[in-house]
Amino acid sequence: MADDKDVLRDVWFGRIPACFTLSPEETTEREAEPYYLLLPRVSYLTLVTDKVKKHFLRVMKAEDSTEMWFEYEGTPLKWHYPIGVLFDLHASNTALPWNVTVHFKNFPERDLLHCSSNSVIEAHFMSCIKEADALKHKSQVINDMQKKDHKQLWMGLQNDKFDQFWAMNRKLMEYPTEEGGFRYIPFRIYQTTSDRPFIQKLFRPVSPEGHTLTLGDLLRELFPAAICAEDEPKRFQVMIHGIEPLLETPVQWLSEHLSHPGNFLHISIIPAPSD
């Protein structure tokens, strides 16, 4: 893996300031003050909001406090998507802090998965890593790891320990030099304008002729509307971790440096803001 630790560190420590407000539909014994929190982009909402839950439970009756869920401007927020993806997809062109509404009742069964404990998040996280390694290395790296190695990956994410996580994750980012990259790039393309959860297809980092393939090549194949000619107005923004990478960036480099801890490269495509 190309040694670019500053990029890995910047990605890991990316934060989004958020203001959590209790929904007016909730019954409280006294007024609920908003709660402010810096959210790690690479984590999951249900993993980092224990303090939010405790804050609002103080003003609620115990019998009213069922499973907590979140919503932004009427859209329920899927906890199994990384926080940074949710923000880029739904709120990237809005003022900060990100205003998130907290609910304890009327769980939207059709929109959200239940998350009863951290073990549910851990299972989802590990299944992402296993799927990604099946694409990258035919599962050889993850299968060679021991159970304690898997646990180290999870504990690194859960406890926000960059060095602990990357000491193990770097093995998942290696590949034989002669191959020029992973077997396939684990990626998902999200868009708000589609009913499909995301686009995911097999895509190699190197062409059959040996050329390095780029983000632009990936988009031309899977979402050509995101590529505009020089004289055309821009219709879409292509966001990864809150930035718009150059279309000439090799997908292999992006996969190694800008993937989330679950080892997938999450690409959000949103309508470009009108001037």
Could you read off the pLDDT of 207-232 as tens digits, one per residue?
A: 999 899 999 999 999 999 888 877 78
Predicted local distance difference test score (pLDDT) of residue 272: 87
55, 179: one domain? no
* Of 41, 34, 31, 30, residue with least CA distance to 20: 34
**Pure H helices in 32-146:** 50-57, 83-91, 118-137, 140-144
Domain residues for the domain of 52 are: 13-103
* Of 190, 242, 159, residue with least CA distance to 80: 190
Report, as an integer, the average pLDDT of 231-244: 90
- d(C-alpha 165, C-alpha 111), whole Å: 31
Total tally of structural domains belonging to the chain: 2
145, 171: one domain? yes
CA triple 53-57-60, angle to 5 deg: 145
In a domain, 4, yes or no: no
Report, as an integer, the average pLDDT of 164-180: 92
- d(C-alpha 149, C-alpha 6), whole Å: 24
In a domain, 38, yes or no: yes
124, 257: one domain? yes
**Is 66 or 202 the better-scoring residue by pLDDT?**
202
CB of 249 closer than 8 Å to CB of 215: yes
